[in-house]
């Protein structure tokens, strides 16, 4: 591994090229080439070989060829394509238009449309991709009708999807985190020689009150919508959308199929074309998870603790739902056989760019993690000599910087959790603590680490959650990142303050909830103050 400042240059190059060319794909491609050259000490042939190896690894082609191994990325690609096909089937048969018409009839204002987006997001908590794709497909025509900029819709999606998955105990994120905790030293299996003899899922549950940033950013989104707060780059997008009708901040619109809303009435038969396949899909997900992962004499939630099981279930649920929808619509004569090939092509095209962007982001993240150890280098700089009382703050800042630089929250967790748990285990052995809740600052430090991973994804155009939110809202990725940074900064500042307070005040139940309340108040004050300052300077700004 190369332990030098040069390992942070690939993500910096990605940002520079992305900002210059307005294309994250070009930036990612350049970052991959530079990372490979650094890893191979500038040897062209070895660099090409490393890039090919990374491509095969991240597409899981090598695993598929030998019919064994880890298929998580392959399941993710398949899930995105199949969900795109399902959305196209529902759209072409009028189901999506009928649903948006029904929702639109109940809404009277821009605030109502934004609130509806947030409420719908609460339903799809099991996976952030599912959340982003579904909410964007449903709400995009509605927010367009109310002249809400696409960047605002992307923020509403992004502020709920991954943060909600982080604090709801049953989700693909929690399953992954529990797996990493178990491999890092928190386990009930004595044969694993655990550092802490505890159930990792139970430890995660106890950590939820300390996962502050997701709580603050969800609170921020609701506050911004309900109080019509507007400032920064988002205010410019709001003003342009309200006055000119351009929903892209004055830029060129995306080439997309327009979904027409009938403001007079909706077709109940067409609405069935949305409800039937989508309800089947949502019902199949938990059913397949339980069927494939549950064993007798184990708690019912055990399968939900396995990220691979959830990804597997998302893929097969979408496959079964697609096949059912095709047969259902053919029988009902809403489509004919000649429509199927084009629908499949349109479904693939719907997520072609996001899939390519995700693949490049994963390749870069893999090179930074496995070949350059960029995360380890940053962790060593920021965590090395940190005193005990600032551990939560240090882990939050380190996780934030690592995720912002690499674009991978899960990659950050994979690096920092194995660093943090042994460190906290050493502290436990010194203090003589036997119960995990008695280890000084253990839960706040884990919460800070997880919070930093989410916060970094909101500030990075390389993060997959950011990519999916921008794709779902059909807006420019850099526009989404720029506008989201302004709205996310108050939650970030509040998190920094609160994790600093944990080091000073400890993590007793009383102090925990006082600090949490302090953070919520701080977030509200910062948002309101920023909006008030902007309104004073720009009195005609519209929300």
Tokens 């059913």 locate to 287
Q: Who contacts 212 (Cβ-Cβ below 8 Å, separation ≥6)?
A: 447, 448, 451, 494, 495, 498, 499, 516, 519
Q: For the chain, what is the domain count?
A: 2
Q: What angle do CA 330, 333, 336 make, to 5 degrees?
A: 60
Residues 424 and 490 grouped into a single domain = yes
Question: pLDDT class for 263, splitting at 50, 70, 90?
Answer: very low
Whether residue 304 is predicted with pLDDT greater than 70 in this model: the reply is no
Residues 389 and 491 grouped into a single domain = yes
Residues 287 and 393 grouped into a single domain = no
Listed residues 331, 352, 373: the one ending a domain: 352
Q: Who contacts 443 (Cβ-Cβ below 8 Å, separation ≥6)?
A: 206, 207, 209, 210, 437, 507
Give yes or no for a contact between 97 and 140, defined as CB atoms under 8 angstroms apart. no
Whether residue 66 is predicted with pLDDT greater than 60 in this model: the reply is no
Residues 12 and 139 grouped into a single domain = no
Considering the domain boundaries, does residue 485 fall inside one?
yes
Whether residue 260 is predicted with pLDDT greater than 50 in this model: the reply is no
Structural domain including 506 reads: 5-62+359-537
Residues 382 and 496 grouped into a single domain = yes
Residues 133 and 172 grouped into a single domain = yes
Report pTM: 0.80
Q: How far apart are alpha carbons 516 and 304 in whole angstroms?
A: 28
Considering the domain boundaries, does residue 419 fall inside one?
yes
Q: How far apart are alpha carbons 90 and 86 in whole angstroms?
A: 6
Q: How far apart are alpha carbons 94 and 82 in whole angstroms?
A: 19
Give yes or no for a contact between 91 and 335, defined as CB atoms under 8 angstroms apart. no
| Beta bridge mates, 186 | 196
Whether residue 68 is predicted with pLDDT greater than 60 in this model: the reply is no
Q: How far apart are alpha carbons 413 and 136 in whole angstroms?
A: 27
Listed residues 295, 328, 352: the one ending a domain: 352
Q: Of how many residues is the chain composed?
A: 543
Give yes or no for a contact between 159 and 455, defined as CB atoms under 8 angstroms apart. no
Residues 152 and 290 grouped into a single domain = yes
What's the pLDDT score for residue 226? 93
Residues 404 and 467 grouped into a single domain = yes
Q: How far apart are alpha carbons 123 and 180 in whole angstroms?
A: 26
Considering the domain boundaries, does residue 289 fall inside one?
yes
Q: How far apart are alpha carbons 448 and 22 in whole angstroms?
A: 32
Give yes or no for a contact between 452 and 396, defined as CB atoms under 8 angstroms apart. yes
| Beta bridge mates, 87 | none
Whether residue 385 is predicted with pLDDT greater than 70 in this model: the reply is no
Q: For residue 116, give both structure tokens.
A: 């509806």
Whether residue 233 is predicted with pLDDT greater than 80 in this model: the reply is yes
Considering the domain boundaries, does residue 507 fall inside one?
yes
Q: How far apart are alpha carbons 197 and 176 in whole angstroms?
A: 19
Q: Who contacts 283 (Cβ-Cβ below 8 Å, separation ≥6)?
A: none
pLDDT digits over 184-220, tens only?
778 777 766 777 878 888 888 889 999 999 999 999 9
What's the pLDDT score for residue 333? 83
Q: What angle do CA 106, 109, 113 make, to 5 degrees?
A: 65
Whether residue 309 is predicted with pLDDT greater than 80 in this model: the reply is no
Whether residue 133 is predicted with pLDDT greater than 80 in this model: the reply is yes
Let me know how many helices (H) and strands (E) the chain has, helices first: 25, 0
Which is nearest to 315 in space by CA: 291, 353, 288?
288
Give yes or no for a contact between 382 and 394, defined as CB atoms under 8 angstroms apart. yes
Lowest mean pLDDT among 8-22, 44-58, 110-124, 502-516: 8-22
Whether residue 379 is predicted with pLDDT greater than 70 in this model: the reply is no
Q: For residue 28, give both structure tokens.
A: 């990612």
């Amino acid at each position: 591994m190369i332990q030098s400042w040069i390992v942070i240059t690939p993500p910096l190059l990605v940002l520079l090229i992305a900002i210059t060319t307005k294309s994250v794909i070009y930036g990612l491609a350049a970052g991959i080439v530079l990372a490979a050259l650094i890893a191979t000490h500038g040897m062209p042939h070895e660099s090409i070989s490393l890039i090919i190896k990374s491509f095969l690894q991240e597409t899981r082609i090598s695993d598929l060829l030998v019919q064994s191994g880890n298929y998580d990325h392959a399941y993710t690609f398949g899930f995105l394509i199949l969900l795109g096909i399902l959305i196209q089937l529902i759209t072409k048969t009028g189901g999506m238009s009928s649903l948006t018409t029904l929702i639109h009839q109940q809404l009277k204002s821009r605030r109502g449309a934004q609130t509806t987006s947030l409420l719908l997001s609460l339903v799809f908590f099991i996976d952030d991709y599912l959340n982003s794709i579904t909410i964007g497909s449903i709400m995009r025509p509605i927010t367009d009708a109310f002249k809400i900029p696409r960047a605002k819709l992307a923020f509403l999606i992004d502020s709920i999807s991954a943060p909600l998955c982080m604090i709801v105990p049953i989700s693909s994120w929690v399953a992954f985190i529990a797996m990493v905790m178990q491999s890092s030293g928190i386990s009930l299996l004595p044969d694993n020689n655990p550092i802490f003899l505890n159930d990792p899922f139970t430890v995660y549950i106890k950590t939820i009150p300390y996962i502050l940033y997701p709580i603050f950013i969800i609170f921020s989104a609701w506050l911004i919508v309900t109080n019509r707060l507007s400032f920064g780059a988002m205010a410019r997008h709001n003003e342009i959308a309200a006055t000119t009708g351009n929903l892209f901040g004055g830029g060129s619109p995306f080439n997309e199929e327009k979904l027409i809303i009938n403001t007079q009435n909706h077709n109940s038969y067409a609405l069935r074309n949305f409800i039937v396949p989508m309800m089947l899909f949502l019902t199949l997900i938990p059913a397949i998870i339980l069927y494939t992962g549950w064993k007798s004499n184990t708690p019912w939630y055990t399968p939900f603790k396995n990220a691979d099981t959830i990804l597997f279930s998302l893929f097969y649920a979408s496959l079964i739902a697609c096949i059912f929808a095709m047969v259902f619509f053919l029988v009902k004569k809403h489509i004919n056989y000649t429509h199927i090939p084009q629908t499949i092509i349109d479904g693939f095209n719907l997520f072609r760019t996001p899939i390519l962007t995700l693949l490049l982001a994963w390749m870069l993240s893999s090179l930074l993690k496995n070949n350059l150890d960029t995360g380890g280098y940053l962790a060593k700089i920021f965590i090395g000599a940190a005193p005990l009382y600032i551990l939560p703050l240090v882990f939050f800042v380190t996780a934030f910087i690592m995720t912002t630089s690499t674009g991978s929250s899960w990659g950050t967790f994979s690096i920092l959790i194995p660093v943090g748990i042994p460190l906290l285990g050493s502290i436990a052995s010194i203090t003589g603590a036997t119960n995990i809740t008695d280890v000084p600052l253990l839960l706040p430090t884990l919460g800070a680490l997880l919070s930093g991973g989410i916060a970094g994804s909101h500030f990075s155009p390389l993060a997959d959650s950011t990519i999916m939110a921008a794709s779902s809202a059909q807006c420019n990725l850099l526009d989404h990142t720029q506008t989201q940074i302004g709205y996310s900064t108050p939650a970030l500042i509040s998190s920094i303050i609160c994790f600093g307070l944990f080091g000073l005040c400890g993590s007793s139940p009383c102090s925990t909830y006082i600090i949490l309340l302090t953070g919520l108040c701080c977030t509200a004050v910062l948002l309101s103050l920023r909006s008030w300052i902007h309104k004073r300077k720009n009195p005609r700004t519209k929300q």
